[in-house]
């Protein structure tokens, strides 16, 4: 399932914020991979451990 344009923008903005990746790197990810990285990044930001 593909994200809506607003959903893609939100995911992209949050990944760029957390990981400081360039836009083309984030957009080159498959949706499933982008969501997984986003979940990991947000987990770390919430106090998760590596």
Domain assignment of residue 9, yes or no? no
Please report, in tens digits, the pLDDT of each residue of the chain (50 residues total).
788 999 999 999 999 999 999 999 999 999 999 999 999 999 988 886 55
Q: What's the structural domain count of the chain? A: 1
What does the pLDDT read at residue 39? 93
Q: What is the 3-state secondary structure (H, E, C) of 1-50?
A: CCCCHHHHHHHHHHHHHHHCCCHHHHHHCCHHHHHHHHHHHHHHHCCCCC
Q: Two tokens at 26?
A: 């984030």
What does the pLDDT read at residue 1? 73
Domain assignment of residue 46, yes or no? no
CA–CA gap between residue 33 and residue 22 (Å, rounded): 16
Domain assignment of residue 22, yes or no? yes
User: Structural domain of residue 34, as residue ranges?
Assistant: 14-41
Task: Give CA separation, 37 vs 33, 48, 50, in Å.
Answer: 6, 14, 13
What does the pLDDT read at residue 48? 66
Domain assignment of residue 6, yes or no? no
Domain assignment of residue 33, yes or no? yes
């Amino acid at each position: 399932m593909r994200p809506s344009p607003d959903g893609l923008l939100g995911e992209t903005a949050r990944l760029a914020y957390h990981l400081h990746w360039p836009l083309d790197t984030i957009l080159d990810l498959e949706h499933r991979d982008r969501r997984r990285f986003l979940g990991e990044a947000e987990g770390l930001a919430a106090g998760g451990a590596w």
